Amino acid sequence: MTEYKKPYVIAEVGCNHKGELKIAKEMIQVAATHCKVDAVKFQKRNPKELLTFEEYNAPHPNPYNSYGNTYGEHREFLEFTVEQHEELMFECNKFGVDYSTSVWDLTSAKEIAALNPKFIKIPSASNLQFDMLTYLSGNYSGDIHLSFGMTTPEEEEKIIDFFEQNGKNKNLIIYSCVSGYPVPFEDLSLLDIVNLKEKFAKRVKAVGFSGHHNGIAADVAAFTLGAQFIERHFTLNRTWKGTDHAASLEPGGMLKLVRDLNNVCTALTFKREDILDIEKIQRKKLKKNEL
């Protein structure tokens, strides 16, 4: 039987701040005070390390969403400095939520690990970068959250083995994830959460769900299937320029997600007694005793 703990909800700002620190801070405040999330997460990349020369200088695949003349310039425009990430961490602390960042490369991992956040996220695209995983295993004491999008079962096993060999598997939270933006419901594959629980629940700290779909019903189902950590992209306006906004929740949607997850968590119990107090008056009034 699944033991249901209070869901931990992460508002993934990512790059939805449009490269503006002021907007990023506003998103923290809204996510914390209005939506009541548990954590707000950003992203950190070193584009020249992460991209080849050709990738850096190629045009953005969707020019409408680009913030630069090349894909590399676009990525540089959306990056915050380490000092700015320190400001974001301070802002999170001020509003009582955890700060975190997804790291896409070794340099970014070193920079964010030095800030010592509660947890660091490894995105699906980077979960086989073992030089980065090795550094974090030896130089970072917090939890590591890692998504399994675009990952084969053999690769999943290799990743879990790595963390076990480095004594960090009990600080590892793995996420069921489908890497699409947005993902249609027929591709969400929610039952993979059950598979991850069956294969790895005793070998890792917890299982989560990182969704890039529309609406919030699937997240509630994911929690019911055993995902304790729920991560969703967050934006202040789904019509803003950028590729992730369409698969993100606005404040109203994030608020409803947190509300529904907490309500379902409260409801996922067995009856405390055969006839609950709330039923006794109705039983006396309505129940026909035929014994």
**Distance between CA atoms of 267 and 257, rounded to whole angstroms?**
15
227 pLDDT band, cuts 50/70/90, is very high
**Average pLDDT of the segment spanning 9-32:** 97
pLDDT of residue 246: 84
62 pLDDT band, cuts 50/70/90, is confident
**Distance between CA atoms of 211 and 257, rounded to whole angstroms?**
12
**Average pLDDT of the segment spanning 221-250:** 93
**Average pLDDT of the segment spanning 90-108:** 98
123 near 143, Cβ under 8 Å?
Answer: no
Q: Cβ atoms within 10 A of the Cβ of 78, count?
A: 20
Strand, coil or helix: what is 42?
A: strand
72 near 55, Cβ under 8 Å?
Answer: yes
Q: Which of 258, 203, 255, 196 is nearest to 227 (CA)?
A: 196
CA distances from 80 to 161, 220, 260 (A): 33, 32, 33
pLDDT of residue 164: 98
pLDDT of residue 109: 98
pLDDT above 90 (res 88): yes
Which range, of 96-110, 135-149, 266-280, averages the lowest pLDDT?
266-280
**Average pLDDT of the segment spanning 31-48:** 97
Ordered domains of the chain (ranges, CATH) = 8-286 (3.20.20.70)
pLDDT above 80 (res 3): no
pLDDT of residue 196: 98
70 pLDDT band, cuts 50/70/90, is very high
State if pTM tops 0.85.
yes
Tokens 């009582």 locate to: 96
**Average pLDDT of the segment spanning 199-216:** 96
**Average pLDDT of the segment spanning 152-180:** 97
63 pLDDT band, cuts 50/70/90, is confident
Please list, in sequence order, all residues whose beta carbon lies within 8 angstroms of the beta carbon of residue 252, skipping any fewer than 6 positions away: none
**Distance between CA atoms of 182 and 105, rounded to whole angstroms?**
24
Query: What confidence tens digit (pLDDT) does each residue in 136-159 have?
Result: 999 999 999 999 999 999 999 999
pLDDT of residue 291: 57
Which range, of 21-30, 187-196, 239-248, averages the lowest pLDDT?
239-248
pLDDT above 90 (res 64): no
Torsions phi, psi for 234 (to 5 deg): -130, 135
pLDDT above 80 (res 1): no
24 pLDDT band, cuts 50/70/90, is very high
pLDDT of residue 128: 98
Q: Cβ atoms within 10 A of the Cβ of 69, count?
A: 12
**Average pLDDT of the segment spanning 132-136:** 98
